[in-house]
Amino acid sequence: MKIKKQSTIVETVVFLLLIVLTLVTYQVGKMGLSGVNISLGVFAIALFKGALISEHFMQLKHASGLWRWMILIWLILLGIVIYLAFTA
């Protein structure tokens, strides 16, 4: 029972962190900040959020390394494609 309670606490903290990070990226957009460094920062936050979601809410922390790496590589490739689309 203690493991379940600890897991719930961790997932709640991760959820709250996701909310805070979402509000940070929202404020960046609301303030009209732009530039390559800002874009890379927002992308880094999105990558981190995707990793948190895959690890904690998709339960990939219990999966083999291949599945974990596939999700992370997909997130990075998606970000690269989006970056190239806007800078080309």
Q: What is the pLDDT of residues 17-74, one digit of tens each?
A: 999 999 999 999 999 998 878 888 888 899 899 889 988 888 887 777 788 888 888 8
Please check the confidence at residue 4 and state whether its pLDDT lies above 80: no
Q: What is the pLDDT of residue 1?
A: 53
Q: What is the pLDDT of residue 49?
A: 94
Please state the φ and ψ torsions of residue 63, each to the nearest 5 degrees.
-90, 170
Residue 22 lies in a domain: no
The parent domain of residue 79 ranges over 38-88
Q: What is the pLDDT of residue 30?
A: 95
Residue 63's region, left for phi above 0, alpha for psi from -120 to 50, else beta, is: beta
Q: What is the pLDDT of residue 63?
A: 79
Residue 61 lies in a domain: yes
Structure tokens at 26: 């929202």
What's the domain count of the chain?
1
Please check the confidence at residue 6 and state whether its pLDDT lies above 80: no
